[in-house]
C-alpha cells in the first residue's frame, strides 16, 4: 500500500520537480457578457424605420490581447457565440414593435495595431422578429459564430440594427426620445495553458 502511495505521489509531483508545467484546460460552455442599456432614438410613434447603435467589447478584460500575456489569444481553442439575448430595458415593455434585427462585429479601424485594421465584418445575426415577441428574445446561434479571429485584437466593435414601427414609449421613461435594451452574448470558451 505504501508503494502504491509513493508512485501516486511521484506521478503527481514528478512533472513539477522535473520543471515541467502541467497542461491546464478550461472549458466554459456558457459565459455571459452583457452590454447594458444599448440606446436607440425613438422616431415618432407609428413611424416605420431603422435605427442602429454600436458598442465595444474589450478583449483585454479577458486577458486575450494586449494584456500581460499578449500571446493569450493563441491559447484560445474555442470562442463561439452560442446565443444572443436581447432584454427590453427603458422606454419599451417588449419587442413586439420590431420586425428585424441585424448584428455584425468587426475590429475598429481606429486601433493602433496595424494587423487589426481593415478586418472583415463578421455577420452574427440576421433575424426576423416574431410578432408575438415578449420582453426578452433568446436567439440560439446555429451554427455557433466563431469569434476567435476578432478576439486577437484589443477591441471588438458590435453593431446592432433594429427595424420596425416606432413603439409607444413606456410610462415613466426618463427620456421620451430614446428606448434601450440589454444585449447579452453567451459564449462557449475553451482555453489550454
Q: Measure the CA–CA gap between 174 and 28, rounded to whole angstroms.
A: 38
Q: Measure the CA–CA gap between 34 and 89, rounded to whole angstroms.
A: 13
User: Is a pLDDT exceeding 80 seen at residue 15?
Assistant: no
Q: Give me the pLDDT at residue 156, please.
A: 87
Average pLDDT, integer, range 114-142: 91
The values of phi and psi at residue 34, to 5°, are: -110, 135
pLDDT band at 112 (very low <50, low <70, confident <90, very high): confident
Establish if 7 belongs to a structural domain. no
Establish if 99 belongs to a structural domain. yes
Structural domain including 118 reads 24-192
Establish if 6 belongs to a structural domain. no
Which pTM value belongs to this model?
Answer: 0.79
pLDDT in tens, 141-175: 999 999 988 887 888 899 999 999 887 776 555 55
Establish if 5 belongs to a structural domain. no
Establish if 81 belongs to a structural domain. yes
Domains in the chain, number: 1
Letter string b/e over residues 67-93, b meaning 16 or more CB atoms within 10 A of that residue's CB: eeeeebbebbebbbbbbbbbbbbbbbe
Indicate which CATH number applies to the domain containing 91.
Answer: 2.60.120
Alpha helices in 68-165 (DSSP H): 148-151
Q: Mean pLDDT over all residues of the chain?
A: 80
Q: Which of 119, 135, 138, 115 is nearest to 127 (CA)?
A: 138
pLDDT band at 1 (very low <50, low <70, confident <90, very high): very low
pLDDT band at 53 (very low <50, low <70, confident <90, very high): very high
Amino acid at each position: 500500500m505504501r508503494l502504491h502511495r509513493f508512485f501516486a505521489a511521484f506521478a503527481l509531483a514528478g512533472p513539477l520537480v522535473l520543471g515541467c508545467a502541467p497542461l491546464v484546460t478550461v472549458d466554459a460552455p456558457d459565459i455571459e457578457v452583457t452590454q447594458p442599456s444599448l440606446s436607440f432614438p425613438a422616431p415618432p410613434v407609428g413611424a416605420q424605420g431603422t435605427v442602429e447603435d454600436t458598442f465595444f467589447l474589450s478583449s483585454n478584460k479577458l486577458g486575450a490581447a494586449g494584456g500581460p500575456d499578449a500571446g493569450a489569444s493563441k491559447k484560445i481553442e474555442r470562442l463561439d457565440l452560442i446565443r444572443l439575448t436581447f432584454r427590453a430595458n427603458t422606454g419599451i415593455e417588449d419587442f413586439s414593435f420590431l420586425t428585424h434585427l441585424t448584428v455584425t462585429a468587426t475590429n475598429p479601424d481606429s486601433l493602433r495595431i496595424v494587423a487589426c485594421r481593415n478586418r472583415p465584418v463578421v455577420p452574427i445575426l440576421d433575424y426576423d422578429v416574431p410578432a408575438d415577441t415578449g420582453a426578452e428574445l433568446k436567439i440560439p446561434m446555429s451554427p455557433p459564430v466563431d469569434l476567435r479571429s476578432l478576439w486577437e485584437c484589443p477591441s471588438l466593435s458590435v453593431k446592432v440594427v433594429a427595424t420596425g414601427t416606432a413603439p409607444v414609449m413606456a410610462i415613466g421613461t426618463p427620456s421620451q426620445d430614446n428606448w434601450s435594451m440589454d444585449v447579452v452574448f453567451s459564449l462557449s470558451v475553451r482555453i489550454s495553458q
